[in-house]
Amino acid sequence: MKAALSPMLARLADERATGVLVRDRGALYLADGQVVHAESPEAPGIDVLLTACGRLPRAGWEEAVEQAGARNEVGRFLVDSGRLAGGELEICHLGALFDAAFFALTPGSGPTRFRYGVSHWIGPVRPVPAATVTREASRRRALLAAVWPYPDVDSAPVVPRAPTTGRWITRRQRSVLNLADGVRTPEAIARALGRPAFPTLLDVRRLAAGGLVETPAGPAPPPTPPAPAWVAREYAATDIALLRRLRDALEESL
């Protein structure tokens, strides 16, 4: 486990503690030392992920919270009432958990507090070992740095640049660009699309690396250590994007 992210989380996992770990950028709920839920103000919650895409009507979600929230069984109610299949709930819940945990476990995000005995109203869905949550947060951090090492783009309004002819982007990146109005941040775009925040951050960084959105002015990023082999293999496309930008700049100067 990467103790640098949260030494307290490592200790609580070893103690098989139950309660909520609160940090400045989010909270992790534990049961018997495993992570059962996570929340962050910077990540859309499971309610947004389920309702924004139309999978669950907002009224259906509100009824589940009203009927089962006090018993901490909202997840069970959604499945037992036939509103969601068990597999659907697990997939969406894990997506929301890892998304929020990425922000909650940000290094240097302030003091850490733990409240014993606190449980979440979603109830048990699928617990995840704390080591797995920590490892995934570290992997995502390394991935963002490998794609575009300027973290200011993560919180600043997304400002589109004039596209260069022949530039290809994915459909998902196009939907992000369509909402990039110079006012919405990546978090706001993720909520508007009903998507997890981290994939939206990744799209914004890839768009910035491709010269399609502005990178806020600021100091140069600190030198980064060599990327792991998996980063080099899977994301060599970043180098291709850099070469394309250099080519475009040379062509424009001729």
Phi and psi at residue 114, in whole multiples of 5°? Answer: -130, 130
Q: One-letter amino acid identity for 247?
A: R
Residues 6 or more apart from 211 whose CB is under 8 A from it? Answer: 161, 164, 167, 241, 245, 248
Structure confidence by residue, pLDDT tens digits, 202-212: 999 999 999 99
pLDDT of residue 168: 83
Based on the number of CB atoms within 10 Å of its own CB, is 89 exposed (0-12), middle (13-18) or buried (19 or more)? buried
* pLDDT at 226 > cutoff 90: no
- Total-model pTM: 0.81
Using CA atoms, how far apart are residues 186 and 71, in angstroms rounded to an integer? 34
Q: CA 83 → CA 5, 48, 56, 59, distances in Å? A: 37, 15, 7, 11
Give the helix ranges, DSSP H, for the chain.
7-15, 46-51, 58-68, 74-80, 86-104, 130-147, 171-179, 186-193, 197-209, 229-234, 237-253
Residue-wise pLDDT tens digits, 5-30: 578 999 999 999 999 999 999 999 99
d(CA 74, CA 77): 5
pLDDT tens sequence across 161-193: 876 556 788 999 999 999 999 999 999 999 999
51-101 pLDDT per residue, tens: 988 889 999 999 999 999 999 999 999 999 999 999 999 999 999 999 999
